[in-house]
Amino acid sequence: MNTEMRKVLLVTNIPSPYRIPLFNEMNRQLNRHDLQLFVVFGNRSYSRRKFKPVNEEEFEFEYHFLGSETMNFGNEERTYFSYKGLFKIIKKVDPSCVIMNGFTIASTLLRLRAMTSSLPFIIWSGSVHKSGRNDSALRKLQRRFIISGACSFIAYGKKSSDYLVSMGADPKDVFIGINTVDTEFFRKNTTFNVSDGEPFNLIYVGYLSARKNVSRLFDVIDQLNSYEKKCHLHLVGDGPEKQVLEAKATELAMTDQVTFYGFKQKEELPAILSGSQCFLFQTDFDIWGLVLNETMAAGIPVIASPEAGAVHDLIVNGENGYIADFTNPSEVAEIILKLMEDPKLLKKISENASDTILNTATIEISSRGFVAAVVNCLDKRSN
């Protein structure tokens, strides 16, 4: 790499496999502006993550691992990193700006540092409004303080953009770097098959936690059974609720209709998705839900809860997928029934879903938002 290029330093938690292609593309686009990406990872992994170790030979950017300590304060879904040693790396790299992922401990410290430093920083955030979440007075104060010092913002999508503006960000400084993955991998490696018989294959991929409320899918199956429609539910993932769900499937005499796969790596998913006719995402709350990007790119029709942030950017109800209330299993079952009985509609939804991702949520499109935020930040600094 050209060591004379100005650096853009990005701070994030771990090298998740789904982020590496994005960072590679960001670096390529930044190079066109005589900039290069330097990524600081808090650590190589942490306990809840089951990703296989990343191949660092795939990294097309400079990087450094801090070896941060982690904390979860009794909630394994929220892991916090200390980012010890971050400022030493910032001093060594001497970047033109820093991109911080979220409102972390490091973001607060960087904001404090900015009070006596000319180094500009950008906040990359997916936070959205949710009653009872992120709305304590102290947390709001911390976030407003961080936002007041940032020069640009990168939002996951519409809802997170609205959140940033409501917390004090200037709308003209907010850019959408749509939250996404290597969607091309799923588009190329998955073959969607319209079912012309039964059972109709339903699938869920994700963490099995109480917040995901996967047990609601059993209510949907029960409703479909009452219509005498045969379906099979494929559950891909692991988590604290796995044994509870297995026990419930046994209790409801659904073991012949539910298959548990456990956690699967990215490379294993296309083969499972290829046998599915509909993806169900019943979450009680997700600031985004990257699995929607993956399944829509693969051409799998989706029915998703409105509590997943991604639906507001990706789904046009009835055109490329469906938004439904999973607390009402009959509503979800009626949509599935419609797809089961109309192969042409199923195929149309499949094609529209794949086209939506291709046109709005590729890593190339996402990277443009990051680069626009960086250019905006550096232009403001030079003026």
What pLDDT shows up at residue 1? 44
Q: Is the pLDDT of residue 89 over 50?
A: yes
Q: Which residue has the higher pLDDT, 381 or 57?
A: 57
Q: What average pLDDT is seen over the chain? A: 91
- Taking alpha carbons only, the member of 76, 144, 74 closest to residue 108 is 144
Strand partners, 6: 35
Q: Is the pLDDT of residue 74 over 80?
A: no
Instruction: Give the pLDDT score at 116.
Output: 87
47 pLDDT tier (thresholds 50, 70, 90): low
Q: Residue 374's closest CA among 93, 36, 116?
A: 36
Q: Which parts of the chain fold into alpha helices (H)?
A: 20-31, 86-93, 105-114, 137-149, 158-166, 183-189, 216-226, 242-251, 269-273, 290-297, 311-314, 329-341, 343-360, 363-382
- d(CA 202, CA 259) in angstroms, rounded, equals 10
What average pLDDT does this structure show over 198-203? Answer: 91
Q: Quick check: 230 pLDDT over 50?
A: yes
- For residues 170, 171, 173, 177, the Cα torsion angle rounded to the nearest 10 degrees is 140
CA distance 381 to 120: 8
**Interval 11-34 mean pLDDT:** 94
pTM of the shown model: 0.92
Query: For 279, phi and psi rounded to 5 degrees?
Result: -105, 135
